[in-house]
Amino acid sequence: MDSSDSYNFGMQVSTGRNVFSWRPKVSVIIPAYNVAPYISETLDSVAAQKFRDFEVIVVNDGSPDTVALERAIRPHRENIIYIKQANLGAGVARNTGIKHARGEVIAFLDGDDIWLPEFLASQVAFLGRGYDMVYCDAQQFGIRSVLRRTFMESAPSSGEVTAASLLDLKCNVITSGTVATKSAIMGAGGFENFRTASEDFHLWVRMAKIGARIGYQEKVLLKYRVHLESLSGDSINRVQRGIDVFRRLRDSVGLSAEETEILDRRLASFEADLYVERGKSFLIKEEFRDAYESFSQANRYRRSLKLSLVSLAARFFPRLLLQHFRSHRADDLDLVSRASERRAVSSG
């Protein structure tokens, strides 16, 4: 493979002069889309790894900030494989990286996260205990509200990692902390090869279903960047992504009766979340009838005293409810204590 390599829809591949000519043990896959301000720090953290037998593949997924991105990665270009392709989504970008990977082990890292120096050494050693895939905990950073909190404090992992525990959100995987054998990833079919959301969660469930042994190492081995928009963005879209991936799993994966029961229960909970978020949106716009109907629908999915009271307030005292919401918005009314449900399917 050299700088003249190119194929498929104008894809361009260039290999730095310092990339190993021999097959490395680990291939680090970094999809890049609108991460120009952060990716230099990400690549610095890879270069600082105590484990040295790896190659780095950066896949520019048709990013609109390509000029700034290429300026940011310029100091690293001779040490990485750099691929440019049309914007097809993170899952397809990761598949592209895997296709070009020479290592028997794949390590995933998002272009705005940071590995601690012992990440690869620790995770590769842990993988060698008989696992097909392992993941770890992460220190959150980026905005004040998440400082001093780890990823697993809001999306815990406990017990054996199975398809059922993943679907039940008892085990939650952070993609930038994930290392897996290439054979296990490809045995499950890789990431969905089309633009979609929560494609990483979909893959973890499929890997578990075919018998991949997945382990959680209870160590903080990376820093997970939390952007303001990831917390205060369109909550309706965030919940919708959870609904979409659970529906895709129901339609595309042969689940057991137990797994189907778990999926249906969690899907109903996501549906309740969606109606709550719509109710909030209507409330802010002072569309009080629609707000009442949305909160009432949420209460049909998830019966609770709190939702019943909110529904009544939306019907009879909507302006008081709006005033309460505006004064307590930092706590988001605490209507749905389901942060891990939304995080678990959008951590990639």
* pLDDT at position 88 over 60: yes
pTM across the whole model: 0.87
* Amino acid identity for residue 272 in this structure: A
Q: Where are the domains of the chain?
A: 6-232, 235-344
pLDDT given for residue 260 in this prediction: 97
**Mean model confidence pLDDT for the chain:** 89
pLDDT in tens, 128-182: 999 999 999 999 988 665 567 899 998 899 999 999 999 999 999 999 999 999 9
Percent of the chain with pLDDT over 70: 88
| Residue with the larger pLDDT of the pair 330 and 262 | 262
Helix axes 305-316, 288-301, angle to 10 degrees: 160
* pLDDT at position 30 over 50: yes
- CA angle centred on 71, ends 68 and 75, rounded to 5°: 150
Class of domain 6-232: alpha beta
- Provide the 10 A C-beta neighbour count for residue 196: 17
The answer to whether 132 and 214 have CB atoms below 8 angstroms apart is yes
CA separation for the pair 224, 172 (Å, rounded):
14
- CA angle centred on 160, ends 155 and 161, rounded to 5°: 60
Average pLDDT over residues 265-271: 92
pLDDT band at 79 (very low <50, low <70, confident <90, very high): very high
CA 251 to chain centre: 21
DSSP 340: H
pLDDT in tens, 96-127: 999 999 999 999 999 999 999 999 999 999 99
pLDDT in tens, 279-288: 988 998 999 9
CA separation for the pair 90, 346 (Å, rounded):
12
The answer to whether 210 and 188 have CB atoms below 8 angstroms apart is yes
